[in-house]
Amino acid sequence: MGFLVSKPSLTKLFYLWFVVAGAHSATFTFINNCPYTVWPGTLTGGGGAQLSSTGFELASKASSTLDVPAPWSGRFWGRTQCADTSGKFQCATADCGSGQITCNGAGAIPPASLIELTLAANGGQDFYDVSLVDGFNLPLSITPQGGSGGCSAPSCPANVNAACPPELQIKGSDGGVIACKSACLAFNQPQYCCTGAYSSPDTCLPTHYSKIFKRQCPQAYSYAFDDKSSTFTCSGGPNYLITFCP
């Protein structure tokens, strides 16, 4: 004989599911203010399940939404100058190497401007930042919508490519600078990568190159231990707005 559940019990179970599910997700709205198409990418960290979309096309002035369950930790970025050539999708900057519009669990190939975020469960404290640790390819920002306790909106609105020194530049087919490498990527030396003898906040300090990034975007991470001025928090389960070319 099967287990019989009355209608009131089913109704209660659905209500409890709805409350829990609703409390454990945030809506992310992506807006492209750039004068060109951007292909956002998403990556879940720590071996967690990937989001319902890991990459999509976002035309200039268009917007799109994505629901993200909490707890969750991962990153978002924008790919540029993308095309499907001979059945393989590729981007000139921040490509994820999947050969498709979706990144399918692959991260951005540096240089790439990043939004990094950890969503807490049950409306706890979220942590988020704009990071140029992996270099820069386009301006972006993240803005909490709702929430409490700080909830600043860090942004990197500057075109860092215009200030990028020649040794860090990546140029496009027309000779223009389309991305700016980090010093770590360009030189692979411990003092720039915060590795080896430089693997602590006391030994890995700002360099000539990280200061270039910091001058352009003071709220963004310019190197690995740039925490004090670049990590932001918000509580209460806010939604978020991610803007390309804010």
User: In the chain, what are the domain boundaries?
Assistant: 8-159+218-244
pLDDT bin (cut points 50, 70, 90) of residue 1 is very low
Of the candidates 73, 74, 114, which has an alpha carbon nearest to the alpha carbon of residue 93?
Answer: 114
pLDDT for residue 74 is more than 80: yes
Alpha carbon separation from 54 to 66, 67, 223 (Å, rounded)? 10, 12, 26
State the average pLDDT over residues 90-101. Answer: 98
Kindly state which CATH superfamily the domain 8-159+218-244 is placed in.
Thaumatin (2.60.110.10)
Q: What gap in Å lies between CA 74 and CA 131, rounded to an integer?
A: 12
- One-letter amino acid at 21 equals A
The pair of three-digit structure tokens given for residue 47, joined into one six-digit string: 């071996």
Cα dihedral: 211, 212, 216, 222 (round 10)? -50
Confidence at residue 24, expressed as pLDDT on a 0 to 100 scale:
63
What is the Cα–Cα distance from 87 to 71, expressed in whole angstroms? 36
Longest Cα–Cα distance in the chain: 76
Task: Answer yes or no: is pLDDT of 21 > 70.
Answer: no
What mean pLDDT is predicted for residues 211-239? 96
The pLDDT score that the predictor gives to residue 130 is: 98
Report the DSSP pairing between strands 25-32 and 239-244: parallel
Q: What is the mean pLDDT of residues 22-36?
A: 88
Mean pLDDT of 48-52: 95
